[in-house]
């Protein structure tokens, strides 16, 4: 009798521990997708004000990875056995020296910067008139606290600027410790902002600490609104959504296109994490074409779901040309 009671107590104890003891892992899996040509919470994800827009069709879905945290031992084991999720160490995703809120804030900041980069890349692709704006601020840099995202840069040291490259070139004329005089426009008001340039080990020139890009002219606006998402990997699909609305013709040709990839302000597409899960998410919602950063192609090709055509892209222009090729019945570069 005592043996039975002891065994029952042991089983109960193990059950409690297994269902409550957290493990140092998180579970990754396919997340939700969002059509950048559509709406989110009854508002357009890509909204254009005071610029000509054109009809669109099909889908241009950005994709995400779900992250399940605070796993119990039993939950982690069930994910491992089922194969529905991948267990990875928690530390790289939620570093122990930062709170969950700090990590979420960082992801939100990356997402906001990706939205601005997407608009900039689309305007570069269009080649039309635009303003030069701040699309990124380096933490701890000389301009932190002085300039904000979407500040328009009117001039540097008295020289008007019309391109992002002009800002970089003008700042590069000065040495560390010099004071650069920037005229910026924020909320319609111009102000002069003196900045003492810092140093970086990889360059002898003065360091300002911003990423310049392009934005709409002051009398128009392009906004991207999608709550609750973090990280930079939606940039490519946001840029395509902006382009499709601002150009005649329909990029997708009516197809269900999904994809991923971070984007720079000039249109370069960079690798991201979680491609296998994003492809599954895309297939599950009906996508037939998936845009993949070139640097992720090997990983994508090794785990592509059946029925999903993978298209390799290095730049936003690559993506546009590939979608044009598909629409015309051709075969674009594949992974």
The yes-or-no answer on residue 278 being catalytic is yes
Closest listed residue to residue 199, CA positions, set 175, 181, 180, 173: 175
* 228 plus 211 within the same structural domain: no
Q: Is residue 103 domain-resident?
A: yes
Q: Is residue 282 domain-resident?
A: yes
Residue in 233, 245, 262, 322 annotated catalytic: 233
Return the SS3 of 218: coil
- Total structural domains in the chain? 2
> Which residue among 174, 193, 215 closes a domain?
215
* 224 plus 187 within the same structural domain: no
Residue by residue, pLDDT tens for the chain (335 residues) are: 444 333 333 333 334 444 456 778 888 889 999 999 999 988 999 999 999 999 999 999 999 998 878 888 878 777 776 667 878 788 877 787 777 788 777 888 888 888 999 999 999 999 878 899 999 999 999 999 999 999 999 999 999 998 999 999 999 999 999 999 999 999 889 999 999 999 988 889 999 999 999 999 887 899 998 877 888 889 999 999 999 999 999 999 999 999 999 999 999 999 999 999 999 999 999 999 999 999 999 999 999 999 999 999 999 999 999 999 999 999 999 99
* 136 plus 111 within the same structural domain: no
> Which residue among 195, 215, 235 closes a domain?
215
* 94 plus 186 within the same structural domain: no
pLDDT at 157: 96
> Which residue among 183, 215, 247 closes a domain?
215
pLDDT at 83: 63
Q: Long-range pairs for 169-173 at CB < 8 Å and ≥24 separation? A: 171/197, 171/205, 171/206, 171/208, 172/205, 172/206, 173/205
* 178 plus 192 within the same structural domain: yes
Rounded Cα distance, 195 and 141, in Å? 10
Residue in 141, 245, 262, 278 annotated catalytic: 278
Q: Is residue 208 domain-resident?
A: yes
Contact residues for 330 (Cβ-Cβ < 8 A; gap 6+): none
pLDDT at 21: 62
Which domain, by its residues, includes 175?
131-215
Q: Is residue 16 domain-resident?
A: no
pLDDT at 103: 75
* 195 plus 52 within the same structural domain: no
Q: Is residue 319 domain-resident?
A: yes
Return the SS3 of 216: coil
pLDDT at 17: 41
The yes-or-no answer on residue 245 being catalytic is no
* 264 plus 319 within the same structural domain: yes
* 57 plus 204 within the same structural domain: no
* 48 plus 179 within the same structural domain: no
Closest listed residue to residue 226, CA positions, set 29, 104, 31, 44: 44
């Amino acid at each position: 009798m005592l043996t039975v009671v002891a065994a029952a107590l042991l089983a109960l104890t193990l059950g409690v521990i297994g269902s409550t003891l957290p493990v140092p892992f998180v579970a990754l899996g396919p997340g939700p997708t969002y059509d950048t040509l559509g709406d989110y919470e009854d508002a357009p994800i890509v909204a254009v004000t005071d610029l000509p827009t054109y009809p669109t069709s099909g889908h241009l879905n950005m994709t995400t990875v779900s992250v399940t945290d605070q796993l119990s031992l039993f939950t982690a084991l069930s994910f491992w056995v089922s194969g529905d999720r991948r267990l990875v160490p928690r530390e790289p995703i939620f570093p122990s020296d930062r709170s969950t809120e700090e990590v979420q804030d960082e992801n939100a900041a990356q997402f906001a910067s990706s939205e601005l980069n997407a608009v900039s890349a689309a305007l570069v692709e269009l080649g039309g008139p635009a303003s030069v704006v701040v699309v990124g601020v380096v933490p701890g840099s000389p301009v932190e606290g002085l300039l904000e995202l979407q500040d328009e840069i009117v001039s540097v040291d008295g020289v008007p600027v019309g391109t992002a490259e002009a800002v970089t070139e003008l700042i590069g004329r000065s040495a560390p410790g010099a004071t650069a005089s920037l005229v910026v426009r924020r909320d319609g008001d111009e102000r002069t902002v003196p900045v003492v340039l810092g140093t970086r080990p990889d360059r002898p020139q003065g360091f300002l600490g911003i990423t310049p890009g392009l934005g709409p002219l002051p009398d128009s606006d392009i906004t991207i609104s999608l709550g609750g998402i973090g990280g930079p990997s939606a940039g490519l699909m946001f840029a395509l959504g902006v382009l499709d609305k601002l150009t005649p013709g329909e990029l997708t040709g009516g197809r269900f296109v999904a994809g991923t990839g971070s984007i720079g302000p000039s249109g370069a597409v960079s690798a991201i994490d979680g491609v296998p899960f994003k492809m599954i998410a895309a297939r599950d919602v009906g996508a037939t074409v998936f845009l993949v950063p070139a640097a992720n192609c090997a990983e994508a090709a090794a785990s592509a779901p059946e029925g999903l055509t993978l298209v390799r892209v290095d730049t936003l222009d690559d993506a546009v040309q590939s979608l044009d090729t598909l629409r015309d019945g051709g075969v674009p570069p594949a992974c």
